[in-house]
């Protein structure tokens, strides 16, 4: 798409959308949000970039192959259930520890559901971006052919 307004606003929007997606990811356990929504937000940021600058440029901005992202995400998500198996609980049961990092206003709770969400985030980002790339790729191929 050859529009200066679209291109320059995409450059502002992409970092903004990525930041929001991470915020949504981390507030997700007790409030609306979570890995799936966060991943979709991030993926739509990259989809926007792909529309403005082409999917190859978006791929270069993402740097990692989306299929590797899916793999790593699936690995983290599926693997987040294993620690609870090791301590004798059911698979995927949540385990929590409370951290009190210096200078933080309140104690920080970290647990396996967080790892699950991060995994889902990466998986959804990879899958949705891969889909956009696949569709874009065919469109460009068809354009070349005509």
Partner 1 sequence: MLMMAVSVGLLFATGAYMLMRRSLVKLVVGLVLLGQAANLLIYVASRPLRGRPPLVEPGASLPPDPHSDPLASALVLTAIVISFGIASYTIVLIKRAYEDVGTADLKEFTTTDC
Partner 2 sequence: MLVTLPILVPLLACAACLALWGRVRAQQVVAVATAALMVVVGVTLLHAVLTQGIQAAALGGWAAPYGVALVADPLGAVMVLLTAIVGLAVAVFSIGGTTEARWANGHAALMLAMLGAISGAFVSGDLFNIYVWFELMLLSSFVLLTLGGERAQLEGAIKYVTLNLLSSMVFLAGVGLVYASTGTLNLADLAIRLDAMDDAQRATALGAPLLVAFAIKAAAFPLYFWLPASYHTPPPVVSALFAGLLTKVGVYTLIRVTTLVFDQERALLADAVLLTAGLTMVSGVLGAMSQNDIRRILSFHIVSQIGYMLMGLGIALHAMPPGDPAVLPETAVLALSGAVFYIIHHIVVKTNLFLIAGAIQAERGTGDLERLGGMARTHPVLAGLFLFSALSLAGIPILSGFWAKVILVRAGLEEGTYLIVGVSLAVSLLTLFSMMKIWTRAFWGEPAEPRATPSAGAWARLVPIWFLASITLAIALGAPWVYEFATSAAQAALLPDAYIETVLPGPEVGVQPATPETGGRP
What is the dihedral sign for C-alpha 123, 136, 24, 19?
positive
Annotate 29-71 with DSSP letters as a single string. TTSS--HHHHHHHHHHHHHHHHHHH-HHHHHHHH-S-HHHHHH
Task: Report if residue 75 touches partner 2, rule: CB under 8 A.
Answer: yes
Cα distance between residue 116 and residue 111, in whole Å: 9
Q: Which is nearer to partner 1, 14 or 47 (CB)?
A: 47
Cα separation values, 81 from 7, 92, 118, Å: 42, 4, 13
Task: Report if residue 36 touches partner 1, rule: CB under 8 A.
Answer: yes
Task: Report if residue 23 touches partner 1, rule: CB under 8 A.
Answer: no
Member of 9, 11, 85, 137 binding partner 2 (CB under 8 A)? 85
Determine which helix (DSSP H) or strand (DSSP E) holds 93, and give its type and residue range: none
Q: How far is the CB of 39 from partner 1 (least distance, A)?
A: 11
Q: How far is the CB of 2 from partner 1 (least distance, A)?
A: 23
Residue 67 interacts, among partner 2, partner 1, none and using kind-specific CB cut-offs from 5 to 8 Å, with partner 2
Contact positions vs partner 2 (CB under 8 A): 29-30, 34, 65, 67-68, 70-75, 78-79, 81-82, 84-85, 89-94, 113, 116-117
């Amino acid at each position: 798409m050859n529009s200066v307004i679209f291109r320059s606003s995409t450059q502002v929007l992409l970092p903004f959308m990525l930041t929001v997606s991470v915020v949504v990811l981390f507030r997700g356990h007790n409030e609306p949000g979570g890995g799936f929504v966060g991943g979709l937000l991030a993926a739509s940021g990259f989809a926007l970039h792909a529309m403005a600058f082409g999917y190859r440029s978006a791929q270069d901005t993402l740097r990692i192959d989306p299929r590797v992202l899916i793999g790593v995400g699936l690995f983290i998500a599926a693997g987040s259930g294993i620690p609870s198996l090791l301590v004798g609980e059911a698979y995927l049961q949540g385990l929590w520890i409370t951290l009190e990092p210096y200078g933080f206003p309140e104690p920080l709770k970290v647990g396996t559901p967080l790892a699950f969400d991060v995994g889902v985030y990466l998986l959804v980002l990879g899958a949705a971006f891969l889909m956009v790339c696949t569709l874009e790729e065919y469109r460009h191929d068809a354009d070349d052919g005509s």
